[in-house]
Structure 1
Amino acid sequence: MQYADLHTHTLASDGTQPPTENVRLALAAGLGAVAITDHDTVAGIEEALKAGETMGITVVPGVEISTVAGGTDIHVLGYFIDYRSTQLLDRLEELRRTRDRRNELILERLNELGLQLTMDDVIASLKVSKKADETIGRPHIADALVRKGYVGSMSEAFDRYLGKDGAAYVNPPRIEPQTAVQWIREAGGVPVLAHPGLYDQDGLIAELAEQGLAGLEVYHSDHTPEQEAHYLAIAERLGLIVTAGSDFHGERNGVVFHAPIGARKVEMKAVEQLIQAKESRP
């Protein structure tokens, strides 16, 4: 029986590996499929699809769209999108501009706290230079904080400064998750709510399901077994596709963030269900 990891990141956003390496790691983990779901960009999909053809593994083209609801970051995954859609590309560019502004605000807050860190420092910590359609995120800032010696690890950077309860956390206005669901559907894709256990907004799931949400990421590296059982019950009650993802971001300073590819996986049936949901659209 083959499995799929439906949530991984590459160098196109805040991962540390090129898309080809994600595909190779998925193959090494014995998976039948892997999704490329970078933050607010589809720049890594073409390379991954070519690698998938070469290695004989299914690559699911995807994206992870950043939204806000109730003051909380909410991420919506989109699968089997038309990643060449000019409308989608324009919308993702708009989201990246908001992301860039958030990064500036975080750095301003860090400087106010006495941590001297600039965007040049963050860029200097990157493995490769960023293209215009790729993103810089909080893990890059966390890595720069580690390199400057302000914190000892990525997790400490998020706990003390960059996470929701961190001293430098900022959350500028963004689109709502309902809008992300609409955008994904308009791009021919299938919208799935990412890691619901991180939000404490269970009421949002049913609301989004009424507006076109098709699936729920029940199994995630940051979910406890109790949360997975809880969200499995919700997905079954609402008739949502059950997905799983490691949320792999690669390795930094010897630590894999969030977890290795394949650490959370779901049967290939979920991929088939996503395809069916796409094809059954009116």
Structure 2
Amino acid sequence: MNACYDLHCHSTASDGTLTPVQLVARAAEAGVDVLALTDHDTTEGLPEAIAAARSAGLCLVTGVEISVTWAGQVVHIVGLGFDPGNPALQAGLAGLRRFRDWRAEEIGRRLAKSGIPGAYEGARGYSNGHLISRTHFARFLVEQGYSADMRKVFKQFLTRGKPGHVAGEWAELDQAVGWIKDAGGQAVIAHPARYGMTRTRLRRLIGEFQEAGGTALEVVSGSHSRDEVFTMARHSRDFSLCASVGSDYHGPETPWAQLGRLMPLPDNAVPIWHDWSISKTQALA
């Protein structure tokens, strides 16, 4: 039987709603054999997740999802199988978290000016003392009745031209890939179909990513349609990149993205794990 991989998910260390221990337990229940915890711009949850995975009998791959500004657009680069103690990687992530702290305060100020008081404090409460993301603001806004649901709240308040939008100032593409490579890991473009790019623009991104030393595209994603999966598989082959899979799971509140419930990779896609040495109860780093 083929192993079940899910190489993109989030815990309460960033904007997920399950702790690392709860996330690993849910993944084990879902039949996941190899899991990567890829919190946004932090590896804080990894020690807890590694210990939980060892007890649960699954392989935990070290992971992170790095925020990048490329050609004026925010994209995400997942790092897999790296050394979390690498100084250059941790210094880079620390810089991104400092910007996140300022951005969260600024989002709160802008929402207050538009007649929504207490948003920063509310978002901070949802973060449980960890980094504050737009998702935490979205949860606050929905809970306070400013929007009907999580799918609508971003478009109403947190995207370009809306009251709570603050432009990101993230890592450069080659920086993010370099941090991951220097730490001994593999870099992956997360959910590439979700960026809404034209074919030409997306292939430009992929080409620059490959030139920087990137390894793979996330071909199968919780947000990709069947047609998008096959399109991304073609792009990965065209650029001699591997293919990765990940649900982008944030918690049980998002039923459209569940742990381990993913389409299989197309037959002619080369999986990123093709030369991994996988052992249950051990972490891959």
* Shorter-chain TM-score range: 0.7 to 0.9
Report the alpha carbon displacement of residue 266 of structure 1 after superposing the two structures with TM. Answer: 5.3
CA contact 1:191–1:213 (8 Å) conserved in 2: yes
Instruction: Give CA deviations for 1:11-39 in whole Å, capped at 9, x if unaligned.
Output: 11111111112211111111211100000
Moved over 6 A (4+): none
Tell me which of 157, 163, 169 is aligned to 1:161. 157
1:106 counterpart residue number:
107
Residue 151 (str. 1) matches residue 152 (str. 2): no
Residue 30 (str. 1) matches residue 31 (str. 2): yes
Q: Return the alpha-carbon distance in structure 1 between the equivalents of residues 247 and 158 of structure 2.
A: 21
Q: Return the alpha-carbon distance in structure 1 between the equivalents of residues 140 and 255 of structure 2.
A: 15
Q: Which amino acid is 2:179 matched to?
A: W
CA contact 2:107–2:120 (8 Å) conserved in 1: no
2:9 counterpart residue number:
8
Q: Return the alpha-carbon distance in structure 1 between the equivalents of residues 275 and 110 of structure 2.
A: 41
Moved more, 78-87 or 169-178: 169-178
CA contact 1:3–1:266 (8 Å) conserved in 2: no
Change (3 A) 1:258 1:135: farther
CA contact 2:216–2:272 (8 Å) conserved in 1: no
Alignment of 1:59-208 (within 5 A): 59-126=60-127, 129-130=128-129, 134-164=130-160, 166-199=162-195, 200=197, 201-202=201-202, 203-208=204-209
Q: Which amino acid is 1:186 matched to?
A: D
Q: Return the alpha-carbon distance in structure 1 between the equivalents of residues 172 and 90 of structure 2.
A: 18
1:280 counterpart residue number:
none
Change (3 A) 1:215 1:85: same
Q: Return the alpha-carbon distance in structure 2 between the equivalents of residues 258 and 166 of structure 1.
A: 26
Unaligned 5+ segments in structure 2 are: 278-285
Secondary structure of 1:77's aligned partner: strand
Report the alpha carbon displacement of residue 110 of structure 1 after superposing the two structures with TM. Answer: 1.8
Q: Return the alpha-carbon distance in structure 1 between the equivalents of residues 79 and 42 of structure 2.
A: 11
Q: Return the alpha-carbon distance in structure 1 between the equivalents of residues 119 and 91 of structure 2.
A: 28
CA contact 1:4–1:271 (8 Å) conserved in 2: no
TM-score by length of 1: 0.88
Instruction: Give CA deviations for 1:31-72 in whole Å, capped at 9, x if unaligned.
Output: 211100000000111111111111110111100001111221
Task: Quote the sequence identity (%).
Answer: 34
Secondary structure of 1:94's aligned partner: helix
Q: Return the alpha-carbon distance in structure 2 between the equivalents of residues 61 and 222 of structure 1.
A: 22
Secondary structure of 2:112's aligned partner: helix
Unaligned 5+ segments in structure 1 are: 277-282
CA contact 2:222–2:258 (8 Å) conserved in 1: no
> What is the count of residue pairs matched by the alignment?
267
Q: Return the alpha-carbon distance in structure 2 between the equivalents of residues 176 and 265 of structure 1.
A: 31
2:271 counterpart residue number:
270
Q: Return the alpha-carbon distance in structure 2 between the equivalents of residues 167 and 125 of structure 1.
A: 20
Report the alpha carbon displacement of residue 108 of structure 1 after superposing the two structures with TM. Answer: 2.4
Q: Return the alpha-carbon distance in structure 1 between the equivalents of residues 52 and 95 of structure 2.
A: 29
